[in-house]
Amino acid sequence: GQQLNQSPQSMFIQEGEDVSMNCTSSSIFNTWLWYKQDPGEGPVLLIALYKAGELTSNGRLTAQFGITRKDSFLNISASIPSDVGIYFCAGQLVPGKLIFGQGTTLQVKP
Amino acid sequence: DAGITQSPRYKITETGRQVTLMCHQTWSHSYMFWYRQDLGHGLRLIYYSAAADITDKGEVPDGYVVSRSKTENFPLTLESATRSQTSVYFCASSEKMGLGYTFGSGTRLTVV
């Protein structure tokens, strides 16, 4: 089936550093989404992207929909301890079916 | 309270037993989804529903049954639980197709 390759799998960074993660796929998607999951909770939507080339920000977070429609990246600037969690990308090709990446676990050292 | 709630939060059951996980949303969202989350696999879609009485299979539907008699409820039933169904199960809803989903807090199911 369709798969999303999300990298890196994990990151351990110093507070204040910038973070970058990305997702790639062999399939073309018409929607890319980025979620964050805190321990013991469900994923929460951070950013949604609907057009190829689209660049969208949400506070310190910036995400882009790749022009090939096969990739997306998420940047976090000036990381803080509460950024800790698992970040998931998700792509939608067929209406109603989101395909999720494996997740990137982020740890921030104060 | 408004939102999407799952129950129970934790469940331990024995192999072969039937177990039902509940999902309730108060927004009257048309679309509802069930995912399972396992280490190394991320989130995988089990079933989804576009409206009351309309359901469809996702990526990993075997061993699961769903129903949607009312818009606000979308229960997931494991007819004969197996150890491979030990997982964290998330329910989600969405107002429109293509919009980001809102997830519940999850049910951690252990099959022994």
Tens digit of each residue's pLDDT (9 = 90 or more) over B93-102 = 988 766 778 9
Q: To the nearest whole number, what is the mean pLDDT of chain B?
A: 93
The pLDDT value given to residue B95: 85
Task: Quick: pLDDT tens for A56-80.
Answer: 999 999 999 999 999 999 999 999 9
Of A53-62, B27-36, B38-47, minimum mean pLDDT range: B38-47
Region B4-21: mean pLDDT is 97
Region B43-72: mean pLDDT is 94
A6 Cα to chain B: minimum distance (Å): 10
Tell me the percentage of chain B whose pLDDT exceeds 70. Answer: 96
| B-chain residue closest to A4, CA distance | B42
Size of the A and B interface in Cβ pairs below 8 Å: 56
Residue among B54, B33, B55, B53 nearest B44 (CA) = B33
The pLDDT value given to residue A96: 66
Spatial distance between the Cα atoms of B5 and A97, rounded to a whole number of angstroms: 21
Tell me the percentage of chain B whose pLDDT exceeds 90. Answer: 83
pLDDT band at B107; cut points 50, 70, 90: very high
pLDDT band at A49; cut points 50, 70, 90: very high
Of B28-32, B68-72, B104-108, minimum mean pLDDT range: B28-32
Pairing of strands B31-38, B76-78: unpaired
Spatial distance between the Cα atoms of A49 and A87, rounded to a whole number of angstroms: 16
Residues of chain A contacting residue B50, judged by C-beta atoms under 8 Å apart? 96
Nearest CB to B42 within list A50, A95, A103: A103
The pLDDT value given to residue B100: 77
The pLDDT value given to residue B89: 98
Q: Is B34 helix (H, G, I), strand (E, B) or coil?
A: strand
The answer to whether the CB atoms of B98 and A42 lie below 8 A apart is no
Spatial distance between the Cα atoms of B102 and B93, rounded to a whole number of angstroms: 5
The pLDDT value given to residue A94: 73
pLDDT band at A92; cut points 50, 70, 90: confident
Provide the token pair at B17. Answer: 């037993």
